[in-house]
Amino acid sequence: MIRPRNISPKLHKTQYLKVAISFVAAFFAVYLLSSSLVIALIFGFLLSVIAYLISRKKSHKDAAAVNAAWPEVIDHLVSGIQSGLSITESLIGLTTRGPVILRPFFAEFEMKMRLDGDFNLAISDLKQRCGQHSSDQIFEAIAISKTLGGSELLNILRTVGTFLRQDLALRREIEVKHGWIKNSAHLSAAAPWLLLLLLSTQPATSRAFSTPTGVLILLLGLAMTAIAYIWMNRLGRLPELPRVFGEA
């Protein structure tokens, strides 16, 4: 059976291996180009950091794709309940009809229901494994409705779906507006290092940056680039909604 993927933005061993390979490849490429050990180490570090950031970005994209799939889950649940299915049958039906990225989670829910038959335990486990603000609202509404026998589940799900879609649309609009600013900042941070790479083909440049003063200048430039990048990302980061119905 397909196991659900971890939707939190963490790196796996293969991604760390790619970071290490990037460092080694960049180091030897720049060293053959410039014949400077110091410049090769600097660029090896820079390229490994870039590879790390790319891997982190991919992990964040996976988490964002999961977050964007919850309104579709609500649509399937509403459709299933309206067609006469129970909430349990509607949730199990998401194993085959739901968003592909979320199907493994509902497959685990189906297996747990077939083994234990405890709906509250299965929905609590599903909520914990998904671990997002959006999923918490959906599963908490389902759990309360199932326990208390509420008849307003459809209205609650529609309301939650409307709120989720509005939040996703607002976040996408902000991300698009910030995107061109962040890309310009990335280019500005990379430009001096690209110039250094071109100049390092000259023996005089390699000798100059191999001196203690040259090493100090490179380290200061590296520190300033890191500070500027971190500051830029902190300013452009959207706050994550807290988990009200789940563990932080």
In a domain, 148, yes or no: yes
Domain that holds residue 156: 69-166
Which stretches does DSSP call E strand in the chain? Answer: none
Task: Name the token pair of 89.
Answer: 């049958």
In a domain, 119, yes or no: yes
Q: In the 8-state DSSP scheme, what is residue 167? A: H
Query: Does residue 45 have a pLDDT over 80?
Result: yes
Instruction: Give the phi and the psi of residue 202 in degrees, each rounded to 5.
Output: -85, 130
Number of domains composing the chain: 1
Q: Are 30 and 66 in contact (CB under 8 A)?
A: no
| Confidence at 58, pLDDT banded by 50, 70, 90 | confident
pLDDT digits (tens, 9 = 90+) for 91-130: 888 888 888 888 889 998 889 888 888 888 888 888 888 8
